[in-house]
């Protein structure tokens, strides 16, 4: 009788372990499906999109906005090229994409040029299809960069063709990428720029034109934000490091 009782307990333990393992497997599969086809979280490690996005912002990107490519899947492991259920981004969308240089590194920038557009910079001013893009000075914007230096830049509101408005920062109009050749955006490609214009590596130089299949998704909203002053183990400092005012902010 005692032996039978022990066997019964062992069987129940094995059954419980099996159910736990199945639950974990189902949870992982559900998370992978959501990450692949619905939303994927990203964090912002650099200041190229300030003031729209700050270092330490965590955001959700909608994977369904532009359809699906191999880069929609973990490790870009899908065996096809191009896009399925494709929908084109709009000018002014904030987009996560795989940089064409290696097809692996995630970048986040704003769509400035659509297929067929011409884009150029002259004395710090943006021209699209030969037309000067309006910008209106707002104020001085101050922030501390990742090296601890305090930067004071000018904030403008830029109005793209079609009427979409967004903030940009300029440290003057004679920086490295403030004068460029005229770029003609090829079919199936997009021209990307960061909102922090003078420190952004984008389509004006290093990134180049971004193919449609490299688009990962559209940035939708910030779900968490921290200024980086609290380390992971410094629990008592977390409330002071969190930027609560940015939680659930939409990205425009």
Question: pLDDT tens-digit profile of 105-156?
Answer: 999 999 999 999 999 999 999 999 999 999 999 999 999 888 888 999 999 9
Looking up tokens 């003609």 gives: 184
Above 90 in pLDDT, residue 181? yes
If we measure between CA atoms, which residue out of 169, 182, 110, 112 comes closest to residue 135? 169
Other Cβ atoms within 10 Å of 32 Cβ, number:
12
Catalytic positions: 48, 109
Confidence of residue 10 (pLDDT cuts 50, 70, 90): low
Does this model's pTM top 0.85? My answer is yes
**What is the DSSP secondary-structure string of 5-20?**
HHHHHHHHHHHHHHHH
Closest by alpha carbon to 126, among 95, 90, 157, 88? 157
What is the model's pLDDT at position 4? 55
């Amino acid at each position: 009788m005692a032996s039978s009782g022990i066997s019964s307990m062992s069987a129940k333990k094995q059954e419980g372990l099996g159910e736990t393992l199945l639950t974990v497997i189902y949870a992982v599969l559900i998370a992978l499906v959501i990450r692949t086809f619905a939303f994927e979280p990203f964090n912002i490690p650099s200041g190229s999109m300030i003031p729209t996005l700050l270092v330490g912002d965590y955001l959700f990107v909608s994977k369904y906005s532009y359809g699906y490519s191999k880069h929609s899947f973990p490790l870009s492991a899908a065996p096809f090229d191009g896009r399925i259920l494709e929908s084109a981004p709009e000018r002014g969308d904030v987009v996560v994409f795989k940089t064409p240089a290696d097809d692996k590194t995630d970048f986040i920038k704003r769509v400035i040029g659509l297929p067929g557009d011409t884009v150029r910079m002259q004395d710090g001013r943006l021209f699209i299809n030969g037309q000067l893009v309006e910008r209106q000075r707002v104020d001085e914007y101050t922030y501390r960069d990742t090296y601890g230096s305090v930067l004071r830049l000018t904030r403008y509101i830029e109005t793209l063709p079609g009427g979409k408005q967004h903030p940009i920062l300029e440290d003057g109009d004679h920086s490295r990428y403030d004068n460029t050749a005229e770029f003609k955006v090829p079919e199936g490609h997009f021209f990307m720029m960061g909102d922090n214009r003078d420190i952004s590596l984008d389509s004006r130089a290093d990134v180049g034109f971004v193919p449609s299949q490299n688009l990962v998704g559209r940035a939708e909203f910030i779900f968490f934000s921290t200024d980086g002053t609290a380390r992971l183990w410094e629990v008592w400092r977390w409330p002071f490091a969190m930027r609560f005012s940015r939680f659930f902010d939409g990205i425009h």
